Each structure stands twice: as structure tokens, then as C-alpha cells.
Structure 1
Amino acid sequence: MARGKSFKVSFKPTYQNQAMLFPPDLNEMVSADHPVRVVDRIVESIDIGLLLARYKPGGTSSYHPRMLLKVLVYAYMNNIYSSRKIEDVLGRDIYFLWLSGMSKPDHNTINRFRSGRLQKILQPIFSQVVLLLCDEGLLSLKELYTDGTKIEANANRYSFVWGKSISNNREKIKKQLNELWQYAQSIAAAELNSPTDPTDPGPIDSSKIKEVIDSINQALSEVAKQEAIDPKIRQKLNYARKHWPDALDRYDQQEQILKGRKSYSKTDPDATFMRMKEDHMKNGQLKPGYNVQISTNNQYILSYSIHQNPTDTLTLPPHLSSHIKHLKTKPSNVTADAGYGSEQNYKWLENRRITAYVKHNQFDRNQNKNIRQKKRFTVDQLPYDKDQDTFTCPAGKKLINQGSFKSHSHSGYEQTITKYKCESCAWCRLKKECHKQKGSRVIEVNQQYRQLKKRADKRLNTKRGIQKRKRRCFEVEPVFANIKHNHMFKRFMLRGIEKVNIEMGLLALAHNIRKKVA
């Protein structure tokens, strides 16, 4: 380089304001192997006849539902869940522009399509996609791995109704009504003419309240002509007549919404308050949410269902029934954790000849020899003689059958419980370790459940059972982690169980297509 000689910096020219003779072709700007083309190809290959039937002829033209479905699926694949954000990317993102064919539906159109048109339609569409993936050999419909997680509802965290509060308030009203009735009887027994007795243990309603209060008022009015009535009693009666009937009507409406649940949110009545791992206040607070159940194979989601029950125990039969209904295929085996190991679930699977690799709540504890040695006095550890129908305690004493009785679980499932009583615990040196009951030890055993657990233990400890247990850990849980943490979906956007079902379907579709193109 010559001394003193300078060089000018050279930049590539820009043509920002240059007019184009021919506009750019979007198809050429989207690479052949881009995920957006996979979305387009899959949605084009499925039957959307049920969705098309939702549209009525006449009126102005509508955006094609197949195009809107493609846009929604691709948006959920890219962590775009808000209808306003989808509207935004439809005006500037080249892949969305290509997918929509330059159409630009607004957020209201997108939201109406998602929350209205797709109701009860998306699940059959999702099942078609699962069957396509199965035909490509990417998954199997015969082996299921099932688990659940809780996702927060789009509802106020501090606005709720508790079933226990309703029953407590009813009891308070009944108690106070009884006190008023007793007072009226003490001074005006002859004047009381109500055929309804508030001390009756049966349920009370607004009509019964009005009848009793009117009767008390009438009786006290007759007495007031001759002697003074306590003004506090008058005040209570006026308050009761004004507020209690409306309160009882409100409690009736709330109990209809609860439908056996313990709680619900006022802003989303379908949501139940549940304890979740994602705790914004770090104090174990309950939050409104839904119990999401999925079944996977090869980390593909085969089926999903939404439940209002916080526990997994009661979700397995309805979830698998939905799986069989939509995929028209019964699985040969199901693998799940101890949250599903109930007598009802074991029996349900056994009746349908589905092999259950499902733990019960004592399985992991029974695998540990140290824990098993410490818990040698528990019922599960007592030797049982089937011929004599007796248990033997660690001291060698027999526990003899005392008869059976019927019991019902929270779901209404009938169980048979058998009582066994030790022949004598007097002077036993192990009594303090064995039990704290007065007199001889009495145990209650569900023999059918006990046999089902023994069969589950045997199945889970086979070579195939151990393999299934190991595989379950990296089948379902990574799918939830991918959706909730990698793709930041921790709270539903829509309200109501039907709309939440749609969102879960879109999430499942997005997950499966993402995995296919990965």
C-alpha cells in the first residue's frame, strides 16, 4: 500500500424506495423444507366437512376455514396465542402472508373462528392428524403413556365460591331460624300455624324460609297486642325476610354450577381451584385451573381431555373412553403413575382387556426394603391365608374375619370392605408398635383392591413392566415441559371448558407438527 493514499469505504447499494417492475413471489421466498409448508400440507390433507357445515349460505363471503385453521396452528407453533398478535403478524410476517394468501382477517374474526366455529370440531380434526402420523410410522396407537398437569384458567385468582362455605352458611341460616322458632314457641305457641317445622333435619329452601318467617311474624303480631316483643327479635326477622330467601336461591344456583366440585371461579365458573406447581405467591396458594390429561407415544400427543377434578384418579376412564371414541382404536396397554392406581381404574381397564402398567400408592414404598421393614405392621405387610381367610400379625396371632360391609368412594364407586379382628392382643409385647386401638386390633381390608394391587405389582416388576416404567418418565413429562416452559403456555387465553378444549387441541396439534418437522 502506497503511503498517504486513502481508500473510500464501499457499501452495497440499497433499493428501499426502488419501484419493482414485477412484485416478489412469496412462494419463492418460503423455502421448500420450512415448517409452514408442513402445516399447509397437513391441513390440506384432512377432511373439514364438519367445520364447513358450521357455515350457512347467503350473506357476505367468509374467510375460508381451512386458511384460518392453518393460521391458528402455525401461530400456536410459534408461541403466538393472542388473536390481536395473530392479526399483527398476518400483516407483516412473510410466512403468515404466504399461509393466508395475503388475506388479513382481524382479531375479531380470528377469535370468533377459534372460540365459536371450532367447538366440538377440533378434536375430530386432531384425531385425523394423529392417524396421518400413525400411517407414516411415527407413532403407535396401541401403547399409551398417560399423565396429567394443571394449567391455570383465564380467571380472577381471588374471586371464588367454596362448596363448604355454602353448606356452612345454610347451616347457620337453619340454626338461626330454629332459634327464632323456639322463641316464638315460647311466647306464642298457640298462634303458630305453619305446617313446616324448621327443626326438621331435611333441606331448607327459600319458600320454606318465607313460610316459617311469615308464620313467626303473624304469631308475634298477635302477641304484641298484649305484651312487648324483644326489638332484637324484630330486627332479626326483618333481616331474615329481606336477605335469607335470596341467599338460599343464590346457594342453589351456586351448587348447580359446582356439580359436586369443592370450588369454582366467579369469572370462569367451569374452572376449579387447584394447587399448582407454578405458584406466583410461593405460599401453596390455590389457583383456578383445569386438569389436562394427555396420552402420548414416542412423545407425540395421541389424545387429550380437559377435566375439572383436581386429582388424576377419576380422570382415567373418561380420558381413555374419549381416546377410543375419536381414534376408533382400543389400546393394548396403558402406562401411568401412582395417581391413577385405584380399584375403580384397575377394574375398568381389566374389564376392557387393556393391560395396566399402573402403579398404586404403595408401590414405590414396597420396593424399598428398609421402608418395608419399618412398616411391617401395616396391613399390606401382614401374611394372608386365603383358605382360612385370616391375617397373621408379627406376633403370630390370627386376625379373624368379622364380616363385610359396603362403602362408596367420592365418585360413587361401590367397594366391599371386610373387617378382621385379632384373637387377642392382651399382654402382647409388640402392641405399642402394632397399633394404638383399645383392645384387640381391628383392620379393614378391601380384598378385591388388594388382589388387583398384587397383580399390578407382579406386572410392573416383569422385564417389560420395568421397561415401561422407565420409559414413562421421558414420554409424557417432557411434552408438558415443552408446552409450558419452552413455549411459555402456562395460562389459557379463553374461558369455559368448551373453549379451553379448543385451545388444548391447538396446542396438541402444534406440538405434534413441531415434533414432526424437528
Structure 2
Amino acid sequence: MNTNFQDYNQQQNWLFPPSIEELIPQNHPVRVVNGVIEQLDLGLLVAEYSREGKPSYHPKMMLKVMVYAYMDNTYSSRKIEKAMRENINYMWLSARQVADHNTIARFRSKKLKTIFKDIFKQVVLLLAEEGLVTLKEVFTDGTKIESMAGRYTFVWGNAIKTRREKMSEQLEELWQYAQSVADEEDKDPTPPDFTKMDREKVERTAQKINKILKGNPGVGSKQRAKARYIEKHFPANIEKYEGQEALLAGRNSYSKTDPDATFMRMKEDHMQNGQLKPGYNVQISSESQFIIHYSLHQTTNDIHTLKPHLQTYEYLYGALPENLTADAGYGSEENYGYLENVGIEGYVKYNTFDKEEQTYKSKKKKNGKDDFNRNNLHYNAEGDYYVCPMGQHMERTHDQKRTTKSGYRQTTSIYQARNCQGCSLRGMCHKSKYDRKVERNHQLERHKEAVRKRLTSEEGIERRKRRTADVEPVFGHIKSNRNFKRFTHKGIKKVELEFGLHALAHNMRKKAA
């Protein structure tokens, strides 16, 4: 029998029992969490607690446990409670105190909700003091993360608009019928405006219609039934749609189980059919793969997120970064103008930049159709005209103004050829039966020219390379390595806090590494 084993005796007593401190390795990430939070000013967090009643667990201890739990991929309050009882790292942070899961959940959802950004800022400033970040240059990108809302609980803005239009048409049609059969004293020479309907107007109009139809024996039962249906259901439906439009707040959709979530197209598609899912657009700015700032948005497009993202950045740190690098999803006249006005040097692509670069690098000969593209037509800035492929001047005829979804006003100039009749190139040049027109946004073209010079400079090329190795791996690490692909809370305030905890845990984990 082999007896070459180490001694094993569960009843062996310790002469000098070890402390938990001795059992935690000196380079363990839990020590980084402890050391960083010990340096923070938690005055705002302490102010969230009442001085009356039963003594609470110390907020510093609760914060340490919460941050380390997110580093440890432990997000459930019940699992955190279990870890405080059984895991030596949690026991060391909490000094062997054990908070129940309700206390942990309340701490996360109520105590941290309004002051967490201040904690996050303090940690980033500590990173800056250590020279790990400078806060002068950032790489910005966005991703969409699914809400925990039901995937098929959608309300569509276009559907509401269509239903309201149909209701208005039916009401107007019945109104016209009632006026046609009404006595002279019951006729109304000024009909209601059916394009703007509210509950009170619908009720009043439906009552008038019913009064007319009831007093007329020649009206058929079908019209009477329709009038009763409208009076009974339309006012409540209008009120319902008004409430839904208030929840939409300009969006195209929302979820019934999480009204703050918008339906978006995501890369993580459980049905593999491009299906829209409720979620949030998460924007981050990173430096050296540390998350410097984050913000959550309900819009599906990144273009409208850059300005509010940087505004909250300035509110948080009291200053803006010196330069910003981002992909073509942020390239717009409004964003270029904003970056210029606030003094940020922007390395932000526009939508055709990559195609232009590819054509230039490959030195491919343009095909015949490229010669007729508006971007390849010669523009004479001094004379303010385009030259068509036949050498004809295309003069500026007028300007068009439009307002974007965010309220930004754009001006586009229209240039038109003088005479395309009989031109041998007309079939290749354009398909319109009139003389060819081209549009030019002078302000946008000025921004694009400046951006093109920056992006193609040595510094611009270097920043473009660094962007793909800086901000994109952060999302890859959080979503793939940490398996965070869906929020576990509802409401934009709660999910913003949830992502903030992931962002802070990411920074702590990277600092520990």
C-alpha cells in the first residue's frame, strides 16, 4: 500500500490561526479595488444615508464589494451575498460582514444611482495622476446592448401615426355623411380640423354626429352602428396614442416592458434574421484601453450621440479633450462644426473616405460612370460653378435649407446645366428629362477637406491605427470575454448605472493587469 502522502487531518488545530489578510496574495486584483477605493472621497455617497434608524453597512465596504463583484463577473445580488459568506476575497473586503441580497440591491439601485458618475470620475483622475491616461486624447465608438425587455413587446411610431390617420379619415367621412343628411339648423359650416385630434375634440365631434344620425329616420343601421363605435372607442384610443407618443419622444419605437428602450438592429441576433431588438446605444471614449467616459442614448444612429456625449464629458471633467478620433458613423456637418467650435481637433471620417482611400491606393482606373459622379465634376470656387463632362458651366440657381432631426440647420446649393438637349453623353450623365442638377453643401465640403488633410497626415494615419486597437477591443472584452451582452435592469438611469459598474470594473481590471 502506497503511504507516500502529505499529512491530512481536518481536526488539526492551529497554534497561531492565520488572518484573512495573509491568505490574499499581494498582487491579487482585490487589493487594487481596495487600494483605489480607499483613496476616493465618498462624501456624496455617505450623504445618501440617513443618520436615524438602524446603523447601515459602511458605504465604503459596500462599494468595494460591488466593484469587485463586477470584476468577478458576479452581478446577481443573491450571488454577491453568497460570495460574502463563502469567498475569501469578499470576506476580506467586507471584514466578514454579510449583507443580505435586498440590502445589496438597494445599495446598487438607490444609493449609487445619482452619485456613481462622481465615483467613476475620481477613479479616472487617479489613473491620470499615475500617468496611465492624459484625458487629452480620446477614441470614441459606440455599440448597441440589448435591454432585458421582452423582444416582441414593441410599439412602433409609424403604426401609431397610421392608426391616427385612419381614425381621422373615418371620423371625417362620417362627419361629411352626417352633414349631408342633417337638417339646416344642425349643419355646421365650419367643420373640425381632423388632422389635429385630441380626446376632447373627438368626443365632441362624435356626440354631434350621433345626435344628427339619431334624429334622422332615413339613416341606415350601419351608419348608426359606426357612429356608436366611434363615440365609444375613439376618444380612449386617441388618449392611448397620445400617451404612447409621449413615451416615444421623437423615437421610432419603444418596448412595452421597458419604455426607455428603443428597437435597434444588433450584431448579436438570436434569430439570425436581422431582427430588431429593444436596447440602448452605448457610447464610450477610451484612452490606452481605459474607459474615460461613457453615456447611454436612445437613438439608433451614432451621428446624433457625439455632441451630447462630449457635453456630458465636459460637465464631468470641466474640460474637453484636445483631440478625438472616431469612425465614419460620426461624420456629419453638425459634428464637424461642433468639434471646430469647441476647439477639438477631430480625426473623424466621413462616409466616403475609405472608398476614396481605397481607390487612391489601388490606383485603379475609374470606369466610365465615375466621370459623371458629382464628386468627380470640376468645381470652380472662384466662379462658383460646376463644369459638366461636356465642358458646360452649371450655374448656381438657388439654395435649399433643411433642419435635421437634432434641430441643426443645413444649407445646400443647387447647380443646374444650361442645356442638356441633344448632348451625346446625356444617357450616361443623368436620367432626368430636365437639365442636370447637382447639389453642394459648401460648409460640409469645407469640413471634409480639412478632415481629409488631417486623416491622411502621418499623425492621422497613426491615430486611425490606434483607434482600432484602443476603443474597439474594450467593447470586445466587455461583450465577449466578460459575456455582457444584455442588461439586467430596466430604465435608462438603471442601465446607465449598470454599464458604469462594468466600465469601472474594466478600468480596475486593466489597472490590476
- Scaled to the shorter chain, the TM-score interval is over 0.9
Indicate whether 1:315 and 2:310 are aligned: no
AA aligned to 1:61 is P
CA contact (8 A) 1:295 1:303 kept: yes
* Counterpart among 386, 393, 396 of residue 398 in structure 1: 393
Structure 1 stretches lacking a partner, 5+ long: 1-6
Structure 2 stretches lacking a partner, 5+ long: none
Indicate whether 1:205 and 2:205 are aligned: no
- Which aligned pairs between 1:169-188 and structure 2 lie closer than 5 A? 169-188=163-182
AA aligned to 1:158 is Y
Residue 470 (structure 1) shift: 1.1
* Counterpart among 414, 422, 428 of residue 423 in structure 2: 428
Identical-residue share of aligned pairs (%): 50
CA contact (8 A) 1:70 1:99 kept: yes
Q: Which residue of 2 aligns with 1:331?
A: 321
* Counterpart among 24, 35, 39 of residue 33 in structure 2: 39
Say which SS state the counterpart of residue 474 (structure 1) adopts. Answer: helix
Indicate whether 1:257 and 2:247 are aligned: yes
AA aligned to 1:216 is I
1:102 to 1:195, Cα distance in 2 relative to 1, 3 A: farther
CA contact (8 A) 1:36 1:74 kept: yes
Q: Which residue of 2 aligns with 1:244?
A: 234
AA aligned to 1:307 is H
d(CA) in 2 for partners of 1:191, 1:172: 29
* Counterpart among 362, 370, 378 of residue 373 in structure 2: 378
Q: Which residue of 2 aligns with 1:341?
A: 331
Residue 191 (structure 1) shift: 5.0
Q: Which residue of 2 aligns with 1:217?
A: 210
AA aligned to 2:231 is R
* Counterpart among 272, 280, 283 of residue 282 in structure 1: 272
Q: Which residue of 2 aligns with 1:101?
A: 95
d(CA) in 1 for partners of 2:300, 2:394: 37
Q: Which residue of 1 aligns with 2:504?
A: 509
AA aligned to 2:230 is A
Residue 208 (structure 1) shift: 0.7
Q: Which residue of 2 aligns with 1:69?
A: 63
1:192 to 1:209, Cα distance in 2 relative to 1, 3 A: farther
Say which SS state the counterpart of residue 9 (structure 1) adopts. Answer: coil
CA contact (8 A) 1:382 1:393 kept: yes
Say which SS state the counterpart of residue 61 (structure 1) adopts. Answer: coil
AA aligned to 1:276 is M
CA contact (8 A) 2:213 2:224 kept: no
Residue 16 (structure 1) shift: 2.7
AA aligned to 2:216 is V
d(CA) in 2 for partners of 1:493, 1:191: 63
CA contact (8 A) 1:159 1:266 kept: yes
1:95 to 1:403, Cα distance in 2 relative to 1, 3 A: same
Residue 422 (structure 1) shift: 0.7
AA aligned to 1:451 is R
AA aligned to 1:220 is L
How many residues in Structure 1 have an aligned counterpart in Structure 2?
508
1:195 to 1:288, Cα distance in 2 relative to 1, 3 A: farther
AA aligned to 2:184 is A
Residue 167 (structure 1) shift: 0.6
Once the two structures are overlaid, the 10-residue window that deviates more, 391-400 or 499-508, is 391-400
Say which SS state the counterpart of residue 376 (structure 1) adopts. Answer: helix
Q: Which residue of 2 aligns with 1:130?
A: 124
d(CA) in 2 for partners of 1:215, 1:184: 9
Indicate whether 1:299 and 2:289 are aligned: yes
Say which SS state the counterpart of residue 426 (structure 1) adopts. Answer: coil
Q: Which residue of 2 aligns with 1:482?
A: 477
Normalization by structure 2: what TM-score?
Answer: 0.96
Q: Which residue of 2 aligns with 1:56?
A: 50
